[in-house]
Amino acid sequence: MISVEEAQRRVIKGALSKPLTPVIVSLEESLGRVLAEPIVSDLDSPPFDNSSMDGFAVQAKSVAGARPDHPVPLDVVATISAGHPVPDSLTRLDQCYRIMTGAPVPRDVDAVVQVEWTEKDPRHPSRVLIKRPVEPGLNIRRQGADMAKGDTILRSGTRITPAIIGIAATLGRTSLPVYPAPRVAIISTGDEIVEPSEQPGPGQIRNSNAYALYAAVAEAGGQPVLMAHAPDHLQTIVERLDQAAQYELILSSGGVSVGDFDLVKTALDQHGTLDFWRVNVKPGKPIAYGHYRHTPFFGLPGNPVSALITFELFVRPVIRQLQGDSRWRRLMVVLPLMQDFTEVSDRRHYVRCRIEYDGSGKAGIVPSPDQGSAIQTSWLDATALMMVPENTGPLLAGTEVSVMVLRP
Ligand code: AMP
Ligand code: MG
């Protein structure tokens, strides 16, 4: 039996050897995808010196002596609004421009006095009273201060967020090269399984894994493909796997433990290779990884909680890697337990839990009450997984624990 780290190392290595061929998508479609090439700036940004304030563009030396009780009067020779450059037009030191935020700053001035530091001259409508001195450069956004022409601004492997889309638009991109969503085939197995629309007969249960995994694949940025359910019948399982092998990744659920009808492993033995089929993790010890024909394959456990936890630990990293995302790890934080957690296991335990806040706003961890691998309701309110190392505990309230954050 191998450790979680070893299993993760092996699945990541497998994914890295098979990156997907990039595709071009429009900016509007690029959110959440991963950039497949670096993006170089085609211009300086900002492209020209411009004002960060509404105010008056002046020569700093002309208002050096300005005080609230002794303002310096300046003649306003022109008004510059955004999008409307004005040629250099100052002829004397006691002149200035009215200027708006984002408007180009003429070269014959070197600072902008914000409007709050000025007053209208009651006697001269074309004159302004400057009440404070300014340093040269004040309130001027310099050309290229944000991005310089020719610089590599976005690295390949960057996950595309709204801010990244904004930068790409600034750099004149209408489309971006990104990694495509890997197509992930999902096969549920088991004689006892009926569809959610059906009323289970004696000994039957409804199919939960196919749908939970479908959503988990989509959430990880993959394109889920739901295959027809397979009963515990070797020939049918092989047929489903043969069909699934055309996609980038195959997920099955059930049929990988040591029960008599655990046929998924047999199918892999016959037509593929198994890298591992047991990991020292709880829940989810029977998790198989290998290749079916030449397609990477995960045999997830049948228990619904185990299926989702092994997905989180081993499959999600692969789906992220196939999309070129080097930052596949979830956020890990260390927080104190808010109550005792007394279960001790010789396996690495991933405990469904939620992050709570005490009266003073300090965060802490509250484990879900029943941690059974068949207790789907242990996910209710859970936003994180507490990682309890092998043979550790009991853990008392206040103990600092490592937590993998799944959602806010
Ligand atoms: P197995 O790994 O096939 O032995 O399944 C382990 C447990 O998970 C059994 O209790 C199964 O009934 C249950 N199970 C297997 N597949 C599913 C599924 N698709 N949805 C819900 N429960 C399942
Ligand atoms: Mg089964």
Residue 291 within any structural domain of the chain: yes
Q: Are residues 228 and 374 in the same domain?
A: no
Q: Are residues 189 and 269 in the same domain?
A: yes
Per-residue tokens: 158: 């960057």
**CATH number of the domain bearing residue 364:** 2.40.340.10
* d(CA 304, ligand 1 centre) in Å: 7
**CATH number of the domain bearing residue 86:** 2.170.190.11
pLDDT reported for residue 284: 87
Q: Whose CA is nearest to atom 16 of ligand 1?
A: 302
Residue 327 within any structural domain of the chain: no
* b/e 337-366 (16+ beta carbons within 10 angstroms → b): bbeebeeebebbbbbbbbbeeeeeeeebbb
Of 131, 161, 178, the residue that ends a domain is 178
Q: Whose CA is nearest to atom 5 of ligand 1?
A: 302
Q: Are residues 170 and 188 in the same domain?
A: no
Ligand 1, from 208, 232, 253: best to mutate by most atoms within 8 Å of Cβ? 253
**CATH number of the domain bearing residue 168:** 3.90.105.10
Tens of pLDDT, residue by residue over 268-285, are 999 999 999 999 999 988
Ligand 1, from 189, 194, 198, 209: best to mutate by most atoms within 8 Å of Cβ? 209
Residue 118 within any structural domain of the chain: yes
Of 114, 141, 168, the residue that ends a domain is 141
* d(CA 185, ligand 2 centre) in Å: 18
Residue 13 within any structural domain of the chain: yes
Q: Are residues 27 and 172 in the same domain?
A: yes
Q: Are residues 312 and 361 in the same domain?
A: no
Q: Are residues 169 and 185 in the same domain?
A: no
Of 261, 290, 322, the residue that ends a domain is 322
* Nearest atom, ligand 1, residue 189 CA: 16
Q: Are residues 237 and 363 in the same domain?
A: no
Q: Whose CA is nearest to atom 11 of ligand 1?
A: 302
**How many residues are given for the chain?**
408
Radius of gyration of the chain (CA): 31
> What is the β-pairing status of strands 111-114 and 288-292?
unpaired
Which of the ligands is closest to the CA of residue 286? 1
* d(CA 209, ligand 1 centre) in Å: 8
pLDDT reported for residue 407: 94
Residue 119 within any structural domain of the chain: yes
* Nearest atom, ligand 1, residue 259 CA: 4
Q: Are residues 292 and 274 in the same domain?
A: yes
pLDDT reported for residue 294: 93
Ligand 1, from 303, 306, 377: best to mutate by most atoms within 8 Å of Cβ? 303
Question: How far is it, in rounded angstroms, from Cα 278 to Cα 286?
Answer: 5
Q: Are residues 364 and 336 in contact, defined by beta-carbon separation less than 8 angstroms? A: yes
Query: CB under 6 Å to ligand 1: residues?
Result: 188, 190, 192-193, 205, 207-210, 253-257, 259, 301-304
* d(CA 302, ligand 2 centre) in Å: 6
Question: How far is it, in rounded angstroms, from Cα 252 to Cα 262?
Answer: 12
Q: Are residues 164 and 184 in the same domain?
A: no
What DSSP character marks residue 105? P
Look at the chain and report how many structural domains it folds into: 4
Q: Are residues 36 and 157 in the same domain?
A: yes
pLDDT reported for residue 261: 62
**CATH number of the domain bearing residue 214:** 3.40.980.10
Ligand 1, from 191, 193, 264: best to mutate by most atoms within 8 Å of Cβ? 193
Q: Are residues 401 and 343 in contact, defined by beta-carbon separation less than 8 angstroms? A: no
* Nearest atom, ligand 1, residue 192 CA: 12
Q: Which segments in the chain show pLDDT lower than 50?
A: none
Q: Are residues 400 and 336 in contact, defined by beta-carbon separation less than 8 angstroms? A: yes
Q: Are residues 138 and 112 in contact, defined by beta-carbon separation less than 8 angstroms? A: yes
Q: Which domain holds residue 280?
A: 4-20+180-322
- Residue holding tokens 């930052």? 327
Residue 395 within any structural domain of the chain: yes
Q: Are residues 299 and 318 in the same domain?
A: yes
Q: Are residues 188 and 299 in the same domain?
A: yes
Q: Are residues 302 and 251 in contact, defined by beta-carbon separation less than 8 angstroms? A: no
pLDDT reported for residue 260: 62
Which of the ligands is closest to the CA of residue 259? 1
- Residue holding tokens 């207790």? 375
